[in-house]
Amino acid sequence: MIESGKLKPGDKLFSESEFCKKYNISRMTVRRVISDLVNEGYIQRVAGKGSFVCEPKIIEKLTYVTTFTDDMICRGLIPERKLLERRIDEPYPKITEVLNLDQEEKIIYVKMLLYANHEPICLQNVFLPYRIFFKFMQTSEQEIERRDLCEILNDFIDHPVLWAKQSVEAVLLKTKEAKLLDVSTNIPGLLCERVTFDELDTPIEYVTFLYRADRYKFMIDKRNVIHQKNK
């Protein structure tokens, strides 16, 4: 009913007793299925009020290098962004290694809050080699919030982006992160780490995306590999 649209986001589900009576099933079965639907992000429980249909999750395929703006527009959502912080900084060891920086090199650190349909959906932390993107520090805050960051950064590189290495893991949101994303502390989040490379295989950007797990999920396309015997 949820997937067909008969039940829409915000609609209240039947009570446990109504499910039992309507489908002639046990209360234990109803509770188990409701719990599964909560874990899968279809519904949410509200204490003293019942269970309600959630907004559908935003799905991102991990097949191509795309921008947040493109992903939202393709889904008919309004992308927005807020610049929280921007500064020139000393890289910590992991950033130095990932971006293949020399010992004395500096980075530009950018922190953004990304929105879908005016709802905070993701915290973005960006680490850029200062030697490549030093002119980015002259970009106005208004332009950064108006345009996709990837689009802006493309103005400062000599070689186009070719590929990216990306990982996703489940985490618990910390207090500050949860507050910015307008959710409760210690609920699940999805941490995506990405290193972007140009056509010369030079790492030009390291980004972390911290998504709300209740509103976002990733999809990976896989194909069967056929092994041929050597003749």
Mean pLDDT of 171-195: 89
**Which of the four pLDDT bands, split at 50, 70 and 90, describes residue 221?**
low
CATH class of 1-55: mainly alpha
State yes or no: pLDDT of 72 exceeds 60.
yes
Burial class (CB in 10 A: 0-12, 13-18, 19+), 141: exposed
Structure tokens at 100: 């293949």
Residue 154 has pLDDT above 60, yes or no: yes
Q: Residue 163's CB: how many other CB atoms inside 10 A?
A: 13
More confident call, 214 vs 140: 140
Q: CA torsion sign, 60 to 70 to 63 to 98?
A: negative
Which residue has better confidence, 218 or 126? 126
Which residues, other chains included, contact 23 with Cβ-Cβ below 8 Å and sequence gap of 6+? Answer: none
Backbone φ and ψ for 176, nearest 5 degrees, come out as -65, -40
Domain range annotation of the chain? 1-55, 58-219
CB 136, CB 109: distance < 8 Å? no
User: pTM of the prediction?
Assistant: 0.69
The dihedrals phi and psi of 143, each to the nearest 5 degrees, come to -70, -40
CB 140 within 8 A of CB 197: no
The number of C-alpha atoms within 13 Å of 2 and in the hemisphere containing its C-beta is 21
Mean pLDDT taken over the chain:
85
Distance CA(38)–CA(33), nearest Å, equals 9
Interval 189-216: pLDDT, tens: 889 899 999 989 999 999 999 988 877 6
Residue 110 has pLDDT above 60, yes or no: yes
Reduced to 3 states, what is the DSSP secondary structure of residue 147? Answer: coil
Q: What is the SS3 assignment for 152?
A: helix
Q: Same topology for domains 1-55 and 58-219, yes or no?
A: no
To which residue do tokens 């009570």 refer? Answer: 15
Element of type H or E holding 94 = helix 93-98
pLDDT at 229 over 50: no
CATH class of 58-219: alpha beta
DSSP secondary structure letter of residue 137: G
- Token pair 């719990």 is found at 35
DSSP 10-57: TPBPPPHHHHHHHHT--HHHHHHHHHHHHHTTSEEEETTTEEEEPPPP
Of 152 and 213, the one with more pLDDT: 152
The string of DSSP codes covering 117-174 is TTEEEEEEEEEEEHHHHGGGGGS-HHHHHHS-HHHHHGGG-SS-EEEEEEEEEEEEPP
Top-ranked range on mean pLDDT: pick from 48-52, 73-77, 115-119: 115-119
